[in-house]
């Protein structure tokens, strides 16, 4: 049966890149129905809900989504930009993509970082003999997507029971007495079940695509309980994959090492915040956010999105200068997910060819004095199949 894809362009450049991905899906002969769904800042301002129920229903029904990007703003702006009649009703903004991940338990986030030869943004390293070399990066980050520090369990001026819990631990007794608004708490939660699921997904992928190593990237020497659990689970899971080495790195050291020997890493697995950080860091080696695709994958629903945001300052510019590659690669990941890997490979090959050929360059791939606003109109950005 023809699949139906729920398309959620969201805000800003999400509206520019998502239609390009659909053009490419059509060009490779992927036969699907597309149904539009609202999400993002405009929904928040007009409806007081950045992820309307009708969008949730569509995802529940069709189980496959393509998402562009949304704008999120800090608390004060979120209150101020709400439609006047919705103000003062106790509505509070929460990121719809984070909500979506939790609601549908899209707990496995997969973020490939692959360098395309010929990309002028590829990381170049100086060799010890004074020359330069361009390491070929092929890393896939598996980020736990629903808990960790992004579980959304946090307070400014925490309630009495949280203060009591703090006070019961003698190390934190002083924090418990910090007056009202002067105390903010965000909780880092790791469950063994989800640690297990993300580690298993990472090893399974490593095996399928023949990566030689999986790196658990945490900080178990300091975050002894949460990172400690992640590392322990990774060790247990590795036992079923004797042919794949397990490396363990600390998140801080890893951000340094990745410019030293990025080509040596294969699959990286991490909790939510660390996975978010390390995937952007690796993305920087292969061209930045314009090249960074991702999949949010649950047992039933899966949503694919570029990792970049809505880049509001570029939303008004000529659409042909923002980079649609991250979005198009996300659409290719969607094809892999539903067993259409041959079409996905053709898309990746087309992107590689276009990047290598060098005739088409989006503004992020050029060094432009005065920034993109000084760009002449019309640099075409479509990928030809």
Q: In this structure, what DSSP letter does residue 210 have? A: T
Number of residues binding to ligand NAI, judged by CB under 6 A? 20
Burial tier of 291 (Cβ tally within 10 Å: 0-12, 13-18, 19+): buried
Q: How many CB atoms lie within 10 A of CB 107?
A: 23
Scanning 66-74, 230-238, 336-344, 352-360 for contacts with ligand NAI by CB under 6 A, the matching segment is: 66-74
Tokens of 326: 């991250």
| Nearest CB to ligand NAI, comparing residues 98 and 244 | 98
Scanning 21-29, 71-79, 160-168, 278-286 for contacts with ligand NAI by CB under 6 A, the matching segment is: 71-79
Q: Does 290 bind ligand NAI (CB under 6 A)?
A: yes
Q: Does 13 bind ligand NAI (CB under 6 A)?
A: yes
Pair 7, 34: CB distance under 8 Å: yes
Say whether 293 sits in a helix, a strand or coil: strand
* Helix or strand (DSSP H, E) at 297: strand 293-297
- CA within 13 Å, CB half, 57: 3
Q: Does 276 bind Mg ion (CB under 5 A)?
A: yes
109 touches, from Mg ion, ligand NAI, none (C-beta below 5 to 8 Å by class): none
Counted residue by residue, the chain has a size of 385
| Nearest CB to ligand NAI, comparing residues 32 and 327 | 327
Least distance in angstroms from the C-beta of 280 to Mg ion: 5
| Nearest CB to Mg ion, comparing residues 281 and 383 | 281
- Cα separation, 292 vs 160, whole angstroms: 42
Least distance in angstroms from the C-beta of 14 to ligand NAI: 7
| Residue whose beta carbon is closest to ligand NAI | 309
49 touches, from ligand NAI, Mg ion, none (C-beta below 5 to 8 Å by class): none
Pair 111, 355: CB distance under 8 Å: no
Pair 293, 306: CB distance under 8 Å: yes
Identify residues 342-371 at the interface with ligand NAI (CB under 6 A): 362, 364
Q: Does 309 bind ligand NAI (CB under 6 A)?
A: yes
Pair 258, 282: CB distance under 8 Å: yes
Give the binding site for ligand NAI (CB under 6 A). 13, 17, 69-73, 97, 289-290, 308-312, 322-323, 326, 362, 364
């Amino acid at each position: 049966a023809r699949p139906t894809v729920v398309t959620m362009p969201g805000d800003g450049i999400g509206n520019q890149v998502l239609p390009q991905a659909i053009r490419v899906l059509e060009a490779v002969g992927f036969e699907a129905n597309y149904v539009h769904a609202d999400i993002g800042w405009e929904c928040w301002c007009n409806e007081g809900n950045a992820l309307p129920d009708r969008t949730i229903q569509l995802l529940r029904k069709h189980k496959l989504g393509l998402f562009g990007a949304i704008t999120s703003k800090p608390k004060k702006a979120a209150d101020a930009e709400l439609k006047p009649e919705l103000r003062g009703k106790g509505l509070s903004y929460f990121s719809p993509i984070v909500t979506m991940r939790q609601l549908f338990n899209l707990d496995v986030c997969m973020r490939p970082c692959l360098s395309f030869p010929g990309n002028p943004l590829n990381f170049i390293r100086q060799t010890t003999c004074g020359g330069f070399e361009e390491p070929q990066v092929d890393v896939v980050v598996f980020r736990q997507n629903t808990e960790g520090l992004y579980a959304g369990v946090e307070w400014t001026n925490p309630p009495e029971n949280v203060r009591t819990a703090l006070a019961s631990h003698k190390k934190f007794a002083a924090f418990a007495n910090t007056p009202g608004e002067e105390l903010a708490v965000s909780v880092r939660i790791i469950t063994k079940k989800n640690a297990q699921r993300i580690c298993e997904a990472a090893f399974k992928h490593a095996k399928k695509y023949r990566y030689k190593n999986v790196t658990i990237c945490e900080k178990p020497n300091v975050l002894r309980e949460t990172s400690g659990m992640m590392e322990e689970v990774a060790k247990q899971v590795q036992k079923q994959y004797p042919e794949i080495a397990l490396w363990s790195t600390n998140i801080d050291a890893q951000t340094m090492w990745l410019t030293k020997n990025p080509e040596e890493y294969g699959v990286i697995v991490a909790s939510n915040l660390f996975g978010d950080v390390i995937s952007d860091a690796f993305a920087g080696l292969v061209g930045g956010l314009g090249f960074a695709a991702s999949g949010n994958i649950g047992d039933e629903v899966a949503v694919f999105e570029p990792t970049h945001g809505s880049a509001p300052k570029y939303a008004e510019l000529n659409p042909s200068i923002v980079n649609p590659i991250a979005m198009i690669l996300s659409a290719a990941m969607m094809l892999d997910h539903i067993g259409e890997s041959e079409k996905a490979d053709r898309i990746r090959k087309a992107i590689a060819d276009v990047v290598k050929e060098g005739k088409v360059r989006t503004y992020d791939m050029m060094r432009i004095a005065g920034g993109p606003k000084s760009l002449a109109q019309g640099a075409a950005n479509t990928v030809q199949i």
